[in-house]
Amino acid sequence: MSSSFPDVFSLHGETALITGGGTGIGLAMARAMVAAGARVVLVGRREAELAAAVSELGTGASYVVHDVTKLDAAPALIERVTRETGPISILVNNAGIHLKKPAVATTPGEFQTVLNTHIVGAHALTAAVAPGMMERRHGSILFTGSMASLFGIPLVIAYTAAKAAMVGLVKGYATEFSPHGVRVNCIAPGWIETEMSRKAMDGDPARKSQILERTPMAKFGAPEDIGWAAVYLSSPAAKFVTGTVLPVDGGVSIGF
């Protein structure tokens, strides 16, 4: 055996850039990665959230204010973080926005904004970071998917299109990058208690009970459930895992 417990789950020496790392699931991934020994760099648009997160996380954390939809700025972000913090070995494409309205009321502009955030923005960062990872033959790229990556959900057409497209991205990148030592995986969270899910369910108690009824574990998940999965997928324990979509969902994707 080339590795042993608990070192096989350690992220010592790794540097993770986490988009949307200032809040919710991204912050939980940052907490778990810092606990596992990584340095983390949080990215988001709101400085106050990022600064509060970094002061909670301590010296292993820093932040850069950056909007992932500013596509041309992606290479400069990666250069800056590499210069200030060192080579990035983990990229977490987690930044996301939600849009809840009937499909026919969703304008092309709204649709495009959602795709730009989840897909085109994630691609811009991935394309900027992957060459260095491949050169060093060491990297883990994660995406935060969704149950919408796996099945249809009403009233979130642009979000569903984006999260389903993410699975294609993960598979495509995995075929190109994995031969060069860079693994690419997706976590598909079920319904997790965060600001985003609270807003999506606000004033819609029927949707909330529908979710709980079809979840075998009959509860919402916690952000840390996604955090520990992210540590696993980026650690040596997952060194033969690439191109996968890992549901962390209380069974909702297999329930009836």
Q: Please report, as residue ranges, which positions from 144 to 183 form the binding site for ligand NDP (by CB under 6 A).
A: 144, 146
HEC string of the chain equals CCCCCCHHHCCCCCEEEEECCCCHHHHHHHHHHHHCCCEEEEEECCHHHHHHHHHHHCCCEEEEECCCCCHHHHHHHHHHHHHHHCCCCEEEECCCCCCCECHHHCCHHHHHHHHHHHHHHHHHHHHHHHHHHHHHCCEEEEEECCHHHCCCCCCEHHHHHHHHHHHHHHHHHHHHHHHHCEEEEEEEECCECCHHHHHHHCCCHHHHHHHHHCCCCCCCECHHHHHHHHHHHHCHHHCCCCCCEEEECCCCCCCC
Q: Of residues 63, 159, 173, 232, which has the active-site annotation?
A: 159
Q: Is 139 in the site for ligand NDP (CB under 6 A)?
A: no
Q: Is 233 in the site for ligand NDP (CB under 6 A)?
A: no
Q: Is 191 in the site for ligand NDP (CB under 6 A)?
A: yes
**Closer by beta carbon to ligand NDP, 14 or else 49:** 49
Indicate which single residue of 10, 45, 212, 214 sits in contact with ligand NDP (rule: CB under 6 A).
45
How far apart CA 249 and CA 110 sit, in angstroms, is: 28
Interface with ligand NDP (CB under 6 A), residue total: 29
Indicate which single residue of 15, 106, 117, 235 sits in contact with ligand NDP (rule: CB under 6 A).
117
Q: Is 44 in the site for ligand NDP (CB under 6 A)?
A: yes
159 is catalytic: yes
Q: Is 242 in the site for ligand NDP (CB under 6 A)?
A: no
Q: Are 159 and 146 in contact (CB under 8 A)?
A: yes
Indicate which single residue of 69, 106, 140, 160 sits in contact with ligand NDP (rule: CB under 6 A).
69
Indicate which single residue of 195, 217, 219, 239 sits in contact with ligand NDP (rule: CB under 6 A).
195
**Closer by beta carbon to ligand NDP, 52 or else 97:** 97
Instruction: Pick the stretch among 3-11, 29-37, 41-49, 73-81 that binds ligand NDP (CB under 6 A).
Output: 41-49
Instruction: Pick the stretch among 17-25, 71-79, 169-177, 203-211 that binds ligand NDP (CB under 6 A).
Output: 17-25
**Closer by beta carbon to ligand NDP, 10 or else 62:** 62
Which are the catalytic amino acids? 159
